[in-house]
Structure 1
């Protein structure tokens, strides 16, 4: 066919030519072993996996392209591509929280659906579910969104889990969960969008992008290929942005309870392997059983001090001030009880002293409603804390 029509198909490559390309990886691995770089095995394994995975992909896509079934095409995109991408994104952070995988699925799937529909409207394949268009285009959107979601997840979790004290300080001053998490949200979205922004800045200058290269090799005119590349580049940025914002919002919700308290009690070390490491047995997480009779470790405070904090302070009317804060706290600090009964009058200053680990900081967190204190009662100016919005209670109790 005439290449000017844009319908010429690139020439087929015999296996002998493929093996010639494979020799490059073999030589590279040999040079790495000679230079004692320590990654010769990794190069060979990656090369073998590349051949196997792409060959399997070709066998899988061939019947999908031939059957031309919309259910099969959409099932492959949302039932396989999105799920695999979500698993990979959820496996990247060092720690995980409950439901992170499902939230990654929703984020990537929603972003792909919105931007994919717009892309289909722009490209208008006939029929609209033509696998030759839908699967490659969806793959480009998902692949770039995966990188953004993985970066955003890691940065957002690092802020909420690693900067717990900073978040709780903001909450103690009456900030809402969204306000307390806002600095981390901004940094996470900015970091996740860096690859997409950099890609748009240098596209067409340092290299010809993948889609444009494929169309030119297939015989499409360069101007036609450039228009397609502009469309896919913009929608990749839009898909990445939508997926990143959604996963950040879901992560913020997961780190706060209904009362707006910061809660990372369900955060655990990452146990799943990302797909790129599944075949590397040396990277599998070890599950060494606990030795028989080994005691559970106690919180640091419990090890240092075995005496619980018990405070009893009665408000004296002779102070001349009116009674403002009334506290009856009853809960646990690890395995130990903590009780405190305080009545504070206007203008009164209290000083709480005790050994490290008895529960002084925990008591202050209870008063600020930053953590649940069990069967406790708190009132401010005669109004029960449970009847006040958490942000209002923290603002007024902090004053």
Structure 2
């Protein structure tokens, strides 16, 4: 590396881009990550542990580096760049450095605590479900400190009670190694090992142990299926139904004159009943698929007793833009030219492209045109727009109905 400005890409051993950064002097910036006394945040320390290769792209000026970095981050969406914007949204798995380790879900990796960290994981609910089943399979301890006698977790079959010597340190460590193997993707080895242990226990007429191992194998099967995220499942379903997500995104981007990938799309809708129970909703599609962990609801505060979609949309967008959530590549308002006009200036100040989607004909209105555009019938872009509209409407209606039902309940 020379003394030029440029952009650097940190990649893991699989070639996946972990982080993209810019530098006035590439060699100095990259070297700063790997100095023995480098003052790095815990997130950056975790990043450095995973770096296997580094790509650099020299440019003529620092300004060029800033522009290129921004474009590459939008193209690759590296998880550590996203994490740097709002690391409170992500979870890590922490396997503690104790005689009898625990397995925890934590918001911030404190590397001074020792142990092993995996992550970041963007879907907190799915990760907690996975961790719950990991606990069912391997029955690790959850107590902050070892008690002097067995607690309820032992008696209900959720812990093997190392506190009273019910399991040796060696055997407990073997189970922790299996958990590590699971989070590193070596799942087939775990299933085979448990199967062998179960057969051996049955042959030795240790039927209680064999039954416990059988239950662990069953739970592990459930765990394997849970590791397929809802987004992965949905992508498979879309592929089976001949919906081309990538083409749909490209066609929609072209229609609204956006010359970059539509990684994040936000769609807004307002629901009410004769001016009552007014609610706003924000759904998010990431890479063309629903990203339900990012959905948000808004109970309208500034409009009461009357229907005013324009004012309601403006309130929702104002409140959304005050939050430190990632900005979308495209924002879509459910409605027509009026709804678009109510919020166009807000999105323009945030430098976010915006459009409005009319319900009946899937017509798209843009701020700089009085004539709506329509995507070709049967096109992947139109299918995507229809899915965006239907999901936004479903989500908004579900919240409205909940508020309405709550209001109708007797005190």
TM range, normalised to the smaller chain? under 0.3
- What TM-score do the two structures reach when normalised by structure 1? 0.28
- What TM-score do the two structures reach when normalised by structure 2? 0.27
Which structure has the highest strand share of the two? Answer: 2
Higher relative contact order (CA 8 A, sep 6+): 1
Which structure has the highest helix share of the two? Answer: 1
